[in-house]
Amino acid sequence: VEASIPEPQRAAWKKYQTRPFTNTEQFEREVVRHVETTLARSMFNCDETAAYAAASLAFRDRLITEWNRTQQRQTFADGKRVYYLSLEFLMGRALDNAMLNVGLKNVAQQGLTDLGFRIEDVIEQEHDAALGNGGLGRLAACFLDSLASLNFAAWGYGLRYRYGIFKQEIIDGYQVEVPDYWLDFNPWEFPRHDIVVDIQFYGNVRKYQDSQGKQISLWDGGEIVKAVAYDVPIPGFETSTTNNLRLWSSKAASGEFDFQKFNSGDYESSVADQQRAETISAVLYPNDNLDRGKELRLKQQYFWVAASLYDIVRRFKKSKRAWKEFPDQVAIQLNDTHPTLAIVELQRILVDLEGLDWDEAWAIVSNTFGYTNHTVLPEALEKWSVPLFQNLLPRHLQIIYDINLFFLQSVERTFPKERDLLARVSIIEESSPKMIRMAYLAIVGSHKVNGVAELHSDLIKTTIFKDFVRIFGPDKFTNVTNGITPRRWLHQANPRLSELIASKIGGLGFLKDLTLLSELEKYADDKEFKKEWQEIKYANKVRLARHIKSTTGITVNPAALFDVQVKRMHEYKRQQMNIFGVIHRYLTIKAMTPEERKKLTPRVSIFGGKAAPGYWMAKTIIHLINNVGAVVNNDKDVGDLLKVVFVEDYNVSKAEIIIPASDVSEHISTAGTEASGTSNMKFVLNGGLIIGTCDGANIEITREIGESNIFLFGNLAEDVEDLRHAHNYGSYTLDPALARVFDEIKKGTFGDAAAFSALTGSIEDHGDYYLVSDDFHSYVQTQALVDEAYKNQDEWISKSITSVARMGFFSSDRCINEYAESIWNVEPQSPEQAEAGAGVA
Ligand code: H53
């Protein structure tokens, strides 16, 4: 690469090449320079926001230098790249993460102190990058961290939403949604105005024969929108590898606005085109585990997928390789079905634009993609209406029909006479209107399909994708149990615990190889160590108590047991069961004598999570939690024995405060509904115990940490179907303790009973789909065991330490290595080796 530049010029470039700061003095110089020039401020008007801005810009400069080198290195190495396509990247804050990953937090801390700031306050200024809803989006963010930390040549592709997930306010006990405009100042992105892709919508397909008599399909007419790239550098931990997250932003093709219309006096419609185009990347759909089938969402999907594929194909073409080598150079992972159109788009590019034969193209396509399924919930499985598709993406619809035709023909050959099978597995559902089943399309167009925890991967093989296992064989289906990055979820969120662990097991190596935590097990009975462990948990609880006080006004006692359930609000996650349990506890306390009360373990029940704006039942649950809090927290009989808190606007940075402060957290979904869950892993890694059902990754957590270190309860997945059947066709009796809770709600103890009738009704009158009543008794009993166990702090802390020591498996590094080996077939590229080979200085 370098050889093309003449020596004197090369020398000049080398001489002045940017050298990232490495010590406090250099850091301070950079901060002051940014304050005085980039921000046009001075010592006299540099507040915390400006200090945040300047510190971030200093780190950004550092990252971008490494980013450039990484990209040069990867281009030179010309190896296989991984592309992770996700509509959601729930990144949270970047500054703290950047400081830790490049190993310069101490430098920054000293530097900021010298300049008159507290690093914690500076970090606090940053607005979360909240381009995601929940687990799926946060998983993508953990994966990016691991991909860079493990030195994989990998890119993330997503949308640059102008508005991320809404901000949640609680007003009079109700959720109110406020827009999250987060781009006011975002030092972490680099606009690439030179990387712009035209994206087509609507129009028609013309078919004709070329001079050789070959059938050609031409998609023309319609509307063009521009996709502009914005790049976000992703630093690896203790490596110079800095990967790229490329987010697309939509812009009108005509530029600012239509001058002709403007000049002719039609101002309104002159800006309409621009607004319509910009609407595409304007807002993240706020649904988690729910498909709504809105046209704008389909537009988002195609816009993002088409821009990303254009980029990927362009990069491949630069290498001048033959098309058949595409799958050796490119692995594309589909995060859920949202990017499934990529399969169709690549087929279109190869056949319509590059002139490959259908079969040749299809072999390339189906060897390139891997599909990760994240849910079995029917309401979350994406389907698109055929008429909608016909209008928006006419050529893609034809290609889907062809993919389906060839697929069904091959099924028919292998399973002749099974007409039902053909109807069952058809990508097109013969409903009215006809619907495209995106998961089926994703399976047919990928070489591997994986679930995200063992139970989940088994379930998809035996339920929703059963027929496809017969058709493609079992090897196409695999499991990769989710993981979390220990950098953010231990080192960053809980620095004291991380340091304590490091002091015992020979340094911070466990942050790169989490299995090293096993060394900790020998301290599970070490008195001195346990004391420090307990002190750190207590300090984290004090910090959370302060946050609760300042945001809700509620005073909680840090010595009480903190019982936490924070996650998206959903009936299947059963926050309703938790709050019914709280009411049950409240009624029990009210009925106790003062003597009996003295023996109780004081508890703080902490809830947090957003409800999709249109999900009424989830919003009702939030309302009930807040109303119960208002009653319980002001009842003199109860005092410190029970407090109920709803933490507003749960997000990544709140999670970093809440998770390290939990004694017990709740992961209590109906068995068979939560694909994996990842916060369960975060809580245990931070020394919290968990109460959970036999669902998702809870099962593997139990296997790793041991049954005696977890509070499991409830019915098993294999019994759910029968129970539901019994509710609908047998006699149904509500659990008696739950019936007393419902009576109290109906008496109006927690405000207008009518507000909650749909919630109680869904359980007592409408089949109790999520088995709240079936599991209630064992839930309450298990909570009583938790109370008892907490009284024996000595044993509790040993359980906590032992559990942490056994959490090595749940690192997202392990998870990414599994994808690399069994799905992507890629190897890491260490920067040192690559630079030695490439002569990059
Ligand atoms: O994905 C997580 C899982 C979790 C699952 C979640 C998820 C979404 O957040 C959104 C849509 C979807 O289909 C699944 O609910 O169990 O841990 C990451 O795999």
User: Do 815 and 146 contact (CB within 8 A), yes or no?
Assistant: yes
Please say if the pLDDT value at position 349 is more than 90: yes
Atom of ligand 1 lying closest to residue 677 CA: 17
* 666 closest CA partner among 692, 697, 640: 692
The structure tokens listed for 827 are 């190897």
pLDDT of residue 269: 76
CA angle 262, 268, 269 (to 5 degrees): 75
The mean per-residue pLDDT over the stretch 796-810 comes to: 99
Instruction: Tell me which residue has its CA closest to atom 14 in ligand 1.
Output: 374
Integer Cα distance of 795 and 591 in angstroms: 30
43: Cα within 13 Å, side-chain hemisphere: 5
674 Cα–ligand 1 center, Å? 8
338 Cα–ligand 1 center, Å? 13
* 501 closest CA partner among 803, 709, 706, 238: 803
The mean per-residue pLDDT over the stretch 503-532 comes to: 98
676 Cα–ligand 1 center, Å? 7
Please say if the pLDDT value at position 454 is more than 80: yes
The mean per-residue pLDDT over the stretch 503-529 comes to: 98
Residues 211-258 have pLDDT tens digits of 988 899 999 999 999 999 999 999 999 999 999 999 999 999 976 556
Q: Is the sign of the CA dihedral 230, 236, 238, 241 positive or negative?
A: negative
Cα 688 from chain centre: 21
pLDDT of residue 833: 80
Residue whose CB lies within 8 A of the most ligand 1 atoms, among 136, 142, 678, for a mutation test: 136
89 Cα–ligand 1 center, Å? 13
Integer Cα distance of 158 and 308 in angstroms: 8
Atom of ligand 1 lying closest to residue 133 CA: 9
Please say if the pLDDT value at position 838 is more than 70: no
Residue whose CB lies within 8 A of the most ligand 1 atoms, among 374, 812, 816, for a mutation test: 374
User: Do 488 and 92 contact (CB within 8 A), yes or no?
Assistant: yes
Cβ < 6 A, ligand 1 pocket: 133-136, 139, 288-289, 336, 374-375, 380, 452, 482, 674-678, 696
Higher per-residue confidence, 609 vs 732: 609
CATH 3.90.1150.110 fits 559-793, yes or no: no
167 Cα–ligand 1 center, Å? 20
Integer Cα distance of 479 and 460 in angstroms: 10
Q: What is the pLDDT confidence band of residue 287, given thresholds at 50, 70 and 90? A: very high
Instruction: Tell me which residue has its CA closest to atom 11 in ligand 1.
Output: 289
Phi, psi angles (nearest 5°) of residue 566: -125, 120
Q: Which amino acid does the sequence have at 666?
A: E
Integer Cα distance of 105 and 98 in angstroms: 8
Residues 22-80 have pLDDT tens digits of 999 999 999 999 999 999 999 999 999 999 999 999 999 999 999 999 999 999 999 99
Instruction: Tell me which residue has its CA closest to atom 4 in ligand 1.
Output: 677
Full-model pTM: 0.98
In DSSP terms, 692 is beta-bridged to: 667, 712
User: Do 574 and 671 contact (CB within 8 A), yes or no?
Assistant: no
Within a 10 A sphere around the Cβ of 717, how many other Cβ atoms? Answer: 19
DSSP β-ladder status, 223-235 and 190-201: antiparallel
pLDDT of residue 254: 77
Q: What is the pLDDT confidence band of residue 333, given thresholds at 50, 70 and 90? A: very high
20 Cα–ligand 1 center, Å? 38
Atom of ligand 1 lying closest to residue 377 CA: 13
**SS3 at position 90:** strand
483 Cα–ligand 1 center, Å? 12
**CB-neighbour burial class of residue 390 (10 A; exposed 0-12, middle 13-18, buried 19+):** middle
Distant-in-sequence, close-in-space partners of 506: CB < 8 Å, separation ≥ 6: 519
Integer Cα distance of 549 and 332 in angstroms: 46
Integer Cα distance of 33 and 27 in angstroms: 10
The mean per-residue pLDDT over the stretch 133-159 comes to: 98
pLDDT of residue 4: 82
Block residue for tokens 């017990």: 664
CA angle 684, 687, 693 (to 5 degrees): 35
Instruction: Tell me which residue has its CA closest to atom 8 in ligand 1.
Output: 136
Of the candidate CATH numbers 3.40.50.360, 3.40.640.10, 3.40.50.10190, 3.40.50.2000, the domain formed by 78-93+128-481+823-838 belongs to: 3.40.50.2000
Average pLDDT of the chain is 96
Instruction: Tell me which residue has its CA closest to atom 7 in ligand 1.
Output: 136
DSSP β-ladder status, 154-159 and 242-252: parallel
pLDDT of residue 259: 65
Phi, psi angles (nearest 5°) of residue 608: -165, 150
The structure tokens listed for 596 are 């009996």
pLDDT of residue 268: 77
Atom of ligand 1 lying closest to residue 373 CA: 13
Q: Where are the alpha helices (DSSP H) in 78-160?
A: 95-101, 105-114, 119-124, 135-149
Residues marked active site are found at 374, 567-568, 573, 678, 682
Please say if the pLDDT value at position 266 is more than 90: no
The mean per-residue pLDDT over the stretch 294-317 comes to: 98
pLDDT of residue 841: 44
Cα 166 from chain centre: 15
Residues 468-502 have pLDDT tens digits of 999 999 999 999 999 999 999 999 999 999 999 99
pLDDT of residue 1: 55
The mean per-residue pLDDT over the stretch 720-748 comes to: 96
The structure tokens listed for 34 are 């940014």
Integer Cα distance of 694 and 716 in angstroms: 6
Delimit the CATH 3.40.50.2000 region(s) of the chain.
78-93+128-481+823-838, 559-793
Q: Which amino acid does the sequence have at 619?
A: K
Q: What is the DSSP string of 467-532?
A: HHHHHH-GGGEEE----B-HIIIIIIT-HHHHHHHHHHHTSGGGGT-GGGGGGGGGGTT-HHHHHH
